[in-house]
């Protein structure tokens, strides 16, 4: 680097091409990160088309688990999200108890920043791994747009989980498009939970009262999330066939 000279670097990933510039950022915890601007050819991240035309899934973002995929396959909510939530909450509480400008408060602040940073890194790694697997295994991904407001046990839980959902979807969309796969967003008012995937009647659990209902019956027994995934996938296919989806 100009003016600084050679630096020792721990690479998080290989650069796909010669970078045109670099930005170095120092975090509150005293770590330095370098981010590079790299030009890549269009289609550089395209994946080979999948042979199986049926390799596709709906994604039902959950309350109980992180997401439910085709065939009731579950992406569990990572435990560290909850652990971090709890620790952050505790650290925040102890920070707010300490006197403003006091010595103890100044000591608590870097600890909180370190927790934040660790949580972010852990979450990012995990999200990238999920996204990569989904994109490589499916030729089409159908997801519901996020509900802005949703039920949550606490404000913290809501903010951490919601932020993770939002990041998951935007990364998934970007990677799916770069890989040449199909990504379809379903309107968030589409009643994926209520719609019976067998007969098409709106017989499923509804509203706040229905939140705790995991299984329900309408001719057949339905698992709430597995049923929603089928509805989302079917609606996504319909949108693609009708030319309403940008694929
Ligand atoms: Zn039915």
What residues contact 48, with CB distance under 8 A and at least 6 apart? none
Query: How many Cα atoms are found within 13 Å in the side-chain-facing hemisphere of 202?
Result: 4
- The tens-digit pLDDT sequence of the chain (247 residues) is 888 889 898 998 888 889 999 999 998 888 899 999 999 888 888 999 898 989 999 999 987 789 999 998 999 988 887 887 787 788 778 878 877 777 777 777 787 788 888 888 899 999 999 999 999 999 999 999 886 554 444 444 456 777 788 899 999 999 999 999 999 999 989 999 999 999 999 999 987 777 888 899 998 899 998 999 999 999 999 999 999 877 6
What residues contact 33, with CB distance under 8 A and at least 6 apart? 24, 25, 26, 27
225 is catalytic: yes
Chain Cα centroid distance, residue 112:
23
pLDDT of residue 153: 46
- Report how far ligand 1's centroid is from the alpha carbon of 205 (Å): 12
- Report how far ligand 1's centroid is from the alpha carbon of 76 (Å): 28
pLDDT of residue 149: 52
The span from the first CA to the last CA of the chain, in angstroms, equals 41
The order of strands in the sheet holding 67-68 is 74-75, 67-68, 56-61, 140-144, 182-186
- Report how far ligand 1's centroid is from the alpha carbon of 221 (Å): 9
- Report how far ligand 1's centroid is from the alpha carbon of 218 (Å): 4
This prediction's pTM: 0.82
Residues with CB under 5 A from ligand 1 (ion): 196, 198-199, 201, 218-219
What residues contact 55, with CB distance under 8 A and at least 6 apart? 137, 138, 139, 140
Distance CA 162, CA 152 (A): 10
pLDDT of residue 74: 94
pLDDT of residue 154: 45
């Amino acid at each position: 680097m100009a003016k600084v000279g050679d630096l020792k670097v721990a690479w998080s990933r290989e650069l796909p091409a010669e970078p045109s510039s670099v930005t170095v950022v120092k975090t509150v915890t005293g770590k330095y990160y370098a981010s590079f601007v790299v030009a890549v050819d269009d289609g550089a991240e395209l994946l080979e088309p999948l042979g199986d035309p049926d390799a596709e899934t709906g994604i039902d973002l959950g309350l109980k688990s992180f997401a439910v995929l085709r065939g009731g396959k579950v992406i569990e909510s990572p435990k560290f999200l909850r652990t971090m939530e709890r620790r952050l909450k505790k650290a925040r509480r102890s920070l707010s108890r300490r006197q403003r400008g006091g010595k103890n408060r100044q000591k608590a602040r870097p600890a909180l920043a370190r927790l934040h940073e660790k949580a972010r890194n852990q979450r990012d790694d995990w999200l990238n791994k999920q996204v990569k697997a989904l994109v490589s295994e499916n030729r089409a991904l159908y997801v519901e747009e996020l509900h802005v407001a949703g039920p949550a046990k606490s404000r913290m839980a809501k903010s951490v989980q919601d932020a993770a959902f939002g990041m998951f979807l935007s990364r998934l969309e970007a990677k799916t498009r770069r890989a040449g796969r199909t990504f379809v967003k379903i309107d968030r008012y589409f009643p994926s939970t209520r719609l019976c995937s067998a007969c098409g009647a709106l017989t499923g659990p509804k509203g706040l009262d229905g939140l705790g209902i995991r299984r329900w019956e309408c001719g057949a027994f339905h698992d709430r999330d597995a049923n929603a995934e089928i509805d989302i996938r079917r609606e996504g296919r319909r949108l693609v066939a009708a030319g309403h989806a940008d694929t």
